[in-house]
Amino acid sequence: MTPLDYGIDKARVLIEALPYIQKFAGKTVVIKYGGHAMLDQDLKESVMLDVLLLHSVGIRPVVVHGGGPEINTMLKKVGKESHFIRGLRVTDEETMEIAAMVLVGKLNTEIVSLLNHFGGRAVGLSGKDAQLLQAVKKPLKVQNTQGEYEEVDLGFVGEIEHVSPGIIKSLLDQGYIPVISPLAGGVDGESYNINADTAAGKIAESLEADKFLLLTDVRGVLKDVNNPESLISVVRQEEVPGLLETGVLTGGMIPKIECALAALKGGVGSVHILDGRLPHAILLELFTDGGIGTMIIG
């Protein structure tokens, strides 16, 4: 390929992206950043560059990040075991302190620093800032061996009751990129750990985001979980019960779909589940004709 041919190919890519850039300019896109994309340095940089490109072409990105693996690592360092019930971390007072230290003190700061290093204008927040996320202690009942349901104490795990997005809107209007860690203040004065997918979905609803992107470690919804080529590109809301019934939706994909449906019900335009392990997954999903993940629509 000659330098001219290479240049023409690059120009074609830009032309393909143009109608999407025009369509999404001025729109809010909430990105839940998590999984392997938070652990690999090259992927970290890929995601941050994608976010910056969105911002540079007039889209309003909001990043909400998780941090489960990093919290697990820190707990191991202090000799504390992690316990989960139905995928939710049991969070006692010491675990809550460590989670806050990792999410706010380490990961949030790292993401903001990386965005700013590449020329962005990022600002770090937690859900406790400006009463952004307010929560109550999350109730949970599980079935015991006798088939009876018992209340389980998850500790400082919260369920979001209210979102006050004013601080996010203010930052977006001033040209900043908000980066949010999923901690919430409680009406009882306590701090609560919130599932990052849920926090991102609730924030997307409160902003009436045009798009909500969930970065995961799978390609999207697969007809056959053992065949990565069996990707379903578009799932309509009414198709979900059938996909559950036939076993297409299983395991960790079920809560992500539930999160997606709640976001759609709350006014989000569309939800995208995509593989954050692929470099520039965000741009490939939003700015190419085919996309790379699964789009869920109402």
Number of C-beta neighbours around residue 280 at 10 A: 15
Tokens (6 digits) for 155: 């500790």
**89 annotated to a ligand binding site:** yes
Centre a 10 Å sphere on the Cβ of residue 88 and count the other Cβ atoms it contains. Answer: 17
d(CA 69, CA 35): 8
Say if residue 67 carries a ligand binding annotation: yes
- In the block, tokens 């009942």 appear at 141
Give the integer Cα–Cα distance in Å for 83 and 27.
Answer: 39
How far does the chain reach from its first CA to its final CA, in angstroms?
A: 44
| Number of neighbouring beta carbons within 10 Å of residue 59 | 21
The answer to whether 186 is a known ligand-binding residue is: no
* Residues 39, 41: Cα–Cα separation, whole Å: 6
Positive/negative CA dihedral, 83, 260, 100, 51: positive
DSSP strand E in the chain: where?
A: 28-33, 60-65, 84-85, 88-89, 122-126, 133-137, 141-143, 149-151, 158-163, 177-181, 183-186, 191-193, 211-216, 234-236, 270-275, 294-297
In 10 A of CB 142, how many CB atoms?
11
Closest by CA to 287, choosing from 225, 216, 211, 217, is: 211
d(C-alpha 143, C-alpha 18), whole Å: 53
Two tokens at 47?
A: 């995601």
Q: Which residues are annotated as a binding site for substrate?
A: 67-68, 89, 193
Annotated binding site: 67-68, 89, 193
